[in-house]
Amino acid sequence: MKTLYLHIGQHKTGSTSIQSFCKRNKKLFNKMGYEYPGNKGHHHGFYKTVVNEDNFNIVAYLKKLEKQKFEKFILSSEGFCKCSRNNIENLASVLKRLKWDVQIVVYLRRQDKAIESIYTQMLKNQKIKISIDEYVKRSKFKNLQYGKFLDSWSEVFGKENIKILLFDKVKLGLLKSFLRSIGFKKRERMDQFTYLKNKKNAKPSAVEIKNLLKTNGIAGEIYKQVSYSLISPQDAALILKKFEEENRYVAKTYFNSANLF
């Protein structure tokens, strides 16, 4: 039976770094019995076939993988976190019919930090012209309602087949935590991989953020906490308050804990 490790995001939890890491270490993965298919570094194309419920191409892609000598495959696209319940059920049905074992890997980020990261990315790409305060007021952030999101995947694939990692709390670092989630237990094996920082998606400095705000004609403050933040401690607390019930549910259901973050 082939095993599929499906990394589904979420957005702004280091997905690009994970994808770059897997692509860079493709040959080593192969030596260890894993395949990271393709040469693009991500699997957004496969995600599109899933969200379109294009079963002909879903099956064709998986059949192509089945012909390879590897028993373990890694597919990664943060787009999967946008899948509807129907999309997920359809994918599960195809995988079950083809007799694939599936392990879902997902990272969650504290909502105020995720919102700030999303906003900063839009700022860098010059896709936003309003302050972060206004952005927070206008947006519903349904994708950050983690309980509903996780339930959709766990109720279809089984809670025992979902590995949930907290982006803000990974002890080994992002990349080694990912390796552990796909079956690497021994540090000696993990140390064989090549690790490089992804400078492209590194958090901009406070000076860079100030310049970006100025360039885009946006008024905004920089708050000094452990590191700088565009969101004041008071506003961060209000954001987390909105997700308090949801986070408590996730903590209890998936971590048997009182607190999520």
Task: In whole angstroms, give the CA distance from residue 205 to residue 102.
Answer: 39
- The reported pTM is 0.88
Specify if 71 maps to a domain. Answer: yes
How many degrees, rounded to 5, is the angle at CA 14 between CA 12 and CA 16?
100
Specify if 261 maps to a domain. Answer: no
CATH of the domain at 104: 3.40.50.300
Q: Contact, 110 vs 77, CB < 8 A?
A: no
Specify if 260 maps to a domain. Answer: no
Specify if 203 maps to a domain. Answer: yes
pLDDT, residue 228, reads 67
Specify if 245 maps to a domain. Answer: yes
196, with CB counted inside 10 A (0-12, 13-18, 19+), is exposed
pLDDT, residue 172, reads 85
Give the chain's domain count. 1
Domain around 121:
3-255
Q: Contact, 75 vs 7, CB < 8 A?
A: yes
pLDDT, residue 197, reads 67
Query: Residues in the chain with pLDDT < 70?
Result: 197-210, 212, 214, 216, 219-228
Specify if 205 maps to a domain. Answer: yes
pLDDT, residue 226, reads 47
